[in-house]
Homo-oligomer: A and B are copies of this chain.
Amino acid sequence: MKLLEERILSEGKAVSEEILKVDSFINHQVDPVLMQQIGETFAAHFRERGITKVVTIESSGIAPAQMTALALGVPLVIFKKQPSKVFGDNMDQTIVTSFTKGTSYELTLAKDFISQDDHVLIIDDFLANGEAATGCIRLLRLSHATVAGIGVLVEKSFQPGRQKLTGQGHEVYALARIKAMEKDHIEFLPADDETQS
């Protein structure tokens, strides 16, 4: 998505070879019009797949996931990050460890909102090592739902997230794919909406 790549080049900050800050338009301050365009791009690609729900993990994926769900005309389900195991209350949980942040949380889903009849599109802001998306998929399997694909805004293609997910048969659709970064320099691979459309 040229528009997203241009924003990453003009406003993103490559802090190191691993860390990209996009705080001014995705993570902390959010450009609502860009989120709408992102939602419409995901919806255009996934429209004919029989998707019944969009899911995301709180909280940076919520704005683009809301716009994707709106464009697809299906509900959004937000998987919650609990610091520790929550018992009772009809919940499924799975532990997710973020190598990037060095933290763990219990990804949590109330069983009421995903069923075996659901075909689910996962939306998230970043794909790096794929821990968060893999945690989502584990929870969706516990509900016997099926996965339509994983849509991400920014993929760090030099990390193994995509391989992990495609290796399990899941489609990854990334709107910006970072081949390599160093301080103040960012290099892209062709994004999925550019190679597939």
Interface residues of A (CB under 8 A from B): 23-24, 27-33, 35-36, 58-59, 62-63, 66-67, 69-70, 73-78, 80, 83, 110, 112-113
What are the 3 A-B residue pairs with the smallest beta carbon separation, nearest first?
A: A59-B59, A32-B70, A58-B59
Give the distance to chain B from A182, nearest Cβ to Cβ, in Å.
Answer: 21
Nearest chain B CB to A144 CB, angstrom units: 18
Structural contact, B36 and A70, CB atoms closer than 8 A: yes
Residues of B close to A73: CB separation below 8 A:
33
Bound Cα distance A29, B23 (Å): 26
- Measured in the bound complex, the distance between the Cα atoms of B30 and A113 in whole Å is 10
> In whole angstroms, how far apart are the Cα atoms of A28 and B83 in the complex?
17
A99: min CB distance to chain B, Å: 19
CB proximity of A42 to chain B, nearest CB, Å:
13
**In the complex, which residues of chain B have a beta carbon less than 8 angstroms from the beta carbon of A58?**
58-59
- Cα distance, A21 to B76, chains bound together (Å): 17
Task: Determine the distance from Cα of A67 to Cα of B67 in the docked complex, in whole angstroms.
Answer: 9
Complex Cα distance A30/B35, Å?
A: 17
CB pair B63–A28 under 8 Å, yes or no, is no
Task: State how many angstroms separate the Cβ of A92 from the closest Cβ of chain B.
Answer: 12
CB atoms of B63 and A29 under 8 A apart: no
